[in-house]
Amino acid sequence: MLVSSLILNSCQIYKEVEVIEVLQVQITSFTTERLEAEVFFQVSNPNWYKLKMTDAKIDLMLEGKKIAEVVLVETLVIPKKMVSSMSMKIQSEKLDMQAIISSALSMLFKSSYELEGTGYVQGKAMFIGRKVPVAFKEKLAKEDLGF
CA distance 85 to 88: 10
**Residue spans of alpha helices (H) in 14-137:** 97-107
* Sign of the CA dihedral running 67, 73, 78, 83: negative
Give residue-wise pLDDT tens across range 8-19: 445 567 788 888
Whole-model pTM over 0.75: no
Give residue-wise pLDDT tens across range 60-117: 888 888 888 999 999 999 999 999 999 999 998 778 877 777 776 666 777 778 888 8
**17 alpha-carbon distance from chain centroid:** 13
- Would you say residue 147 has pLDDT above 60? no
Beta bridge partners of 44: 18, 83
Identify whether the C-beta of residue 139 lies closer than 8 Å to the C-beta of residue 24. Answer: no
Residues in the chain: 147
The CATH number corresponding to 16-145 among 2.40.50.140, 2.60.40.10, 3.40.50.620, 1.10.357.10 equals 2.60.40.10
Q: Tell me, what's the pLDDT at 110?
A: 76
Where along the chain do its domains lie?
A: 16-145
